[in-house]
């Protein structure tokens, strides 16, 4: 496997344990250096290292090999943390400044301090580093040339660090397969103190407690997987961890204090049988472990470290057949959490969409102290806290990619007693929030936005809201819902009038929670300060997700697909109306009403489509479905014209431009207009299309492949997980040839 040029002439490893031995062996295996030399304390250790082929030769001290070292050579110090100072003294006495020196100690502040004591300042040749790849195993016998593959190495360069030495160390780690990150010394020690040093302290203490202090000699005989998983790290090298606890004393102490405080609160909850506290801690922790590491770290979608970027590769042709159920409705899932949280009693939800947008809403309410069990196979249990029971979150709420979360929550948070801040990912940061901030301000809310009315939103609590009569300037269910939710906290009767019907899930669901909402013509109204009573919610399958498969069946000859349990709320069925106008063969059966929302099974069989002029009154009823409908138009005979749809320009991407660009790439004549698009149906080729990180653009071009004459590569399809986590699985199941590839 040796590759390319050696990066390093001689690599000298001081301390041939797991970390040092693995680096030497890894570089050797990959041709990363000309020669590897181990400095060992005992002849046995040297013999073992040579026998295992970890290094080319060994010596007893650094001084012995120092005269041979010069530019292009690297000394790697991997001795226990508190022993690093002694090695630095030897370096001062025998090495010149041309030799690169780096270390692998788990604490960086103590090494920096030792270097200052030895050299007067941390010398420019010394790169402080920490490979995060240890395990409970230690010693040269555990050395593994592949240990660093796909692991992270943190470097903590200082202002005076020499860039040539730094670059050599970065390349060294990359050569053994690691990803290199930079942190400050202080941040490194704080983060590692909490995520690594604290768990080791707890694991050692727990095992010691069981072994020493619990009188039953059989205690380990009955210990099962939980004990094994939790305490694996108590088998780590005691001397190494002794050093780490002392070297990172301050950070370890603050992490221990925080933890002991929380543990003692948990003790009280056990003693007092405080179910709410127990369930609160356990459900939040489970969520953090299962799903939310990215959201909590505010890096969903943007950080390639936390999430690999993926593309879809689609082979042309094929047909879709079978019976499928797409995941739960996104709009209804969001609202089930919001209303369940401010209701009195326990609300149960079935069919909840476990996509990232709805999960962001769920996490926001957990952050405001609401106990939420699940989601577990679409089942969620929300322990409602009542209209005035939300608690101030300890940090800004992070809502990822979700416009619905930020806009609806803005209304609800405007009425709280506490301040909040909401932010999201790069796409959300560009989306207009003035449309919700303006009416909320006229109700008396105090809201700050970033420049141009964009997120983050800062909402000041403790304001007395008053009801307003609001005529929506655009047909937007998000704005309507935002004002109605603020109306729950306002004095008087809030009225919202819409220019065209938009989805009415908020109104229907409020009624389901026993909160009176009056509808007269285009106006919905409610009076503030009532109460919501918990209920059971059955979320229908999302017609917006079903759309991709409906269009797939419409355009691919030979298709016959049934979608079950699809929500067919009259404010959402624009897609059915438009496809039928285009000549599609759609049959609805088993129509029924579930929890205030109509649902049906929809069977779609292939039929040739024709281009149409899309009636403007259908636009708000199909607002999320246009990307897929544009694919239908491209496969239809003749011209399709869309007007009155300027809202599409401010969705997760500018969907008019993104779709026009992608269609043109595939050879389709698609001309964007300020408020719509004109598409000439015709043959479609293949190519590479950009999604602009928009889930619906990604899924639309995936189904387009059914009628393309060559493969389509859909770039950056990661965001499909925001609304349709099972899209790939269902594509494969129905007959679409889709391969997920790392980009």
Contacts with ligand S3P, residue ranges (CB under 6 A): 331, 404, 476-478, 481, 502-503, 623-624, 647
CA distances from 560 to 103, 308, 552, 584 (A): 63, 35, 10, 12
Is residue 381 within 8 A of residue 347, CB to CB? The reply is yes
| Residue with Cβ nearer ligand S3P (627 or 672) | 627
Least distance between ligand S3P and beta carbon 587 (Å): 26
Q: Strand pairing of 344-350 and 379-385?
A: antiparallel
Least distance between ligand S3P and beta carbon 395 (Å): 25
Q: Strand pairing of 523-527 and 493-497?
A: antiparallel
Helices (H) and strands (E) in the chain, counts: 25, 32
| Residue with Cβ nearer ligand S3P (49 or 622) | 622
Least distance between ligand S3P and beta carbon 660 (Å): 19
Residue owning tokens 């768990």: 199
Q: If 0-12 CB within 10 Å is exposed, 13-18 middle and 19+ buried, where does residue 591 land?
A: exposed
| Residue with Cβ nearer ligand S3P (475 or 553) | 475
Q: Which of 266, 262, 242 is nearest to 252 (CA)?
A: 242
**Number of residues assigned to the chain:** 743
Is residue 317 within 8 A of residue 683, CB to CB? The reply is no
Q: Which residue is nearest to ligand S3P (CB)?
A: 331
| Residue with Cβ nearer ligand S3P (175 or 334) | 334
| Residue with Cβ nearer ligand S3P (477 or 551) | 477
Least distance between ligand S3P and beta carbon 716 (Å): 19
538 assigned to active site: no
Whole-angstrom distance, CA of residue 315 vs CA of residue 713: 9
Least distance between ligand S3P and beta carbon 566 (Å): 16
Is residue 553 within 8 A of residue 707, CB to CB? The reply is no
| Residue 177 Rama label (left phi>0; alpha psi -120 to 50; beta) | left
Least distance between ligand S3P and beta carbon 339 (Å): 13
CA distances from 221 to 201, 206, 215, 216, 348 (A): 23, 16, 14, 10, 41
Whole-angstrom distance, CA of residue 594 vs CA of residue 591: 10
Least distance between ligand S3P and beta carbon 614 (Å): 16
CA distances from 29 to 35, 137, 566, 621 (A): 11, 21, 56, 61
| Residue with Cβ nearer ligand S3P (476 or 547) | 476
Q: If 0-12 CB within 10 Å is exposed, 13-18 middle and 19+ buried, where does residue 513 land?
A: buried
- 126's tokens: 């010394």
| Residue with Cβ nearer ligand S3P (35 or 616) | 616
| Residue with Cβ nearer ligand S3P (431 or 707) | 431
Q: Which of 243, 357, 538, 624 is catalytic?
A: 624
CA distances from 158 to 165, 166, 363 (A): 12, 10, 37
Least distance between ligand S3P and beta carbon 696 (Å): 9
Catalytic residue numbers? 624
């Amino acid at each position: 496997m040796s590759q390319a040029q050696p990066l390093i002439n001689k690599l000298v490893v001081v301390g041939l344990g797991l970390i040092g031995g693995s680096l030497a062996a890894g570089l050797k295996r990959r041709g990363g250096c000309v020669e590897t030399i181990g400095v060992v304390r005992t002849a046995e250790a040297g013999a073992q290292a040579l026998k295992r082929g970890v290094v080319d030769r060994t010596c007893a001290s650094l001084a012995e090999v120092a005269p041979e070292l010069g530019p292009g050579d690297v000394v790697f110090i991997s001795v226990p943390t508190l022993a690093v100072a002694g090695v630095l003294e030897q370096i001062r006495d025998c090495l010149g400044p041309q030799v690169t020196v780096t270390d692998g100690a788990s604490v960086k502040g103590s090494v920096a301090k030792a270097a200052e004591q030895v050299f007067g300042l941390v010398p420019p040749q010394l790169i402080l580093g920490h490979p995060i790849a240890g395990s409970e195993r230690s010693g040269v016998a555990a050395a593994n040339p592949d240990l660093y593959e796909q692991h992270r190495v943190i470097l903590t360069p200082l202002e005076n660090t020499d860039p040539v030495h730094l670059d050599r160390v970065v390349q060294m780690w990359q050569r053994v397969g690691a990803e290199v990150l930079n942190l400050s010394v202080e941040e490194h020690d704080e983060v590692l103190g909490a995520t690594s040093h604290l768990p080791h302290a707890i694991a050692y203490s727990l095992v010691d407690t069981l072994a020493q202090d619990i009188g039953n000699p059989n205690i380990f005989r009955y210990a099962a997987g939980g004990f094994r998983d939790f305490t694996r790290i108590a088998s780590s090298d005691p001397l190494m961890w002794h050093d780490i606890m002392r070297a990172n004393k301050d950070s370890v102490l603050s992490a221990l204090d925080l933890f002991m405080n929380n543990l003692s609160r948990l003790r009280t909850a056990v003693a007092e049988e405080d179910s709410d506290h127990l369930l609160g801690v356990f459900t939040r922790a489970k969520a953090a472990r299962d799903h939310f590491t990215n959201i909590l770290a505010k890096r969903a979608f943007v950080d390639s470290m936390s999430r690999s970027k993926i593309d879809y590769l689609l082979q042309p042709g094929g047909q879709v057949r079978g019976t499928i159920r797409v995941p739960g409705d996104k709009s209804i899932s969001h609202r089930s959490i919001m209303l369940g949280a401010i209701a009195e009693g326990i609300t149960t939800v079935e069919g909840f969409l476990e996509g990232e947008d709805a999960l962001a809403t769920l996490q926001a309410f957990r952050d405001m102290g609401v106990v939420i069990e699940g989601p577990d196979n679409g089942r969620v249990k929300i322990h409602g806290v009542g209209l005035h029971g939300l608690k101030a979150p300890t940090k800004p709420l992070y809502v990822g990619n979700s416009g619905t979360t930020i806009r609806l929550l803005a209304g609800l948070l405007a009425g709280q007693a506490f301040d909040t801040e909401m932010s999201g990912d790069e796409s959300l940061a560009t989306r207009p929030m003035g449309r919700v901030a303006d009416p909320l301000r006229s109700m008396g809310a105090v809201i700050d936005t970033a420049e141009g009315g964009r997120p983050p939103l800062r909402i000041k609590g403790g304001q007395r809201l008053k009801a307003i009569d609001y005529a929506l300037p655009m047909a937007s269910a998000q704005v309507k819902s935002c004002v109605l939710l603020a109306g729950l906290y306002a004095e008087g009767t809030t009225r919202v009038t819409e220019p065209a019907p938009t989805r009415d899930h908020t109104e229907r669901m409020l009624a389901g929670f026993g909160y009176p909402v009056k509808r007269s013509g285009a106006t919905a109204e409610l009076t503030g300060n009532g109460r919501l009573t918990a209920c059971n919610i059955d979320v229908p399958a999302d017609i917006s997700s079903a759309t991709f498969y409906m269009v797939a069946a419409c355009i691919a000859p030979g298709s016959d697909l049934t979608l079950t349990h699809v929500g067919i709320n009259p404010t959402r069925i624009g897609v059915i109306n438009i496809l039928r106008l285009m000549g599609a063969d759609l049959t609805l059966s088993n129509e029924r009403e579930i929890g205030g929302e109509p649902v049906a099974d929809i069977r779609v069989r292939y039929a040739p489509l024709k281009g149409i002029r899309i009636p403007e009154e259908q636009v708000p009823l199909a607002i999320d479905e246009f990307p897929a409908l544009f694919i239908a138009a491209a496969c239809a005979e003749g011209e399709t014209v869309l007007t009155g749809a300027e809202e599409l320009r401010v969705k997760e991407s500018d969907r008019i431009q993104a779709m026009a660009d992608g269609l043109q790439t595939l050879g389709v004549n698609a001309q964007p207009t300020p408020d719509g698009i004109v598409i000439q149906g015709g043959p479609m080729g293949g190519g590479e299309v950009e999604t602009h990180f928009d889930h619906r653009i990604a899924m639309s071009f995936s189904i387009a492949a059914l009628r393309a004459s060559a493969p389509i590569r859909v770039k950056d399809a990661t965001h499909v997980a925001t609304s349709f986590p099972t899209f790939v699985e269902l594509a494969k199941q129905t007959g679409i040839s889709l391969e997920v590839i790392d980009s």
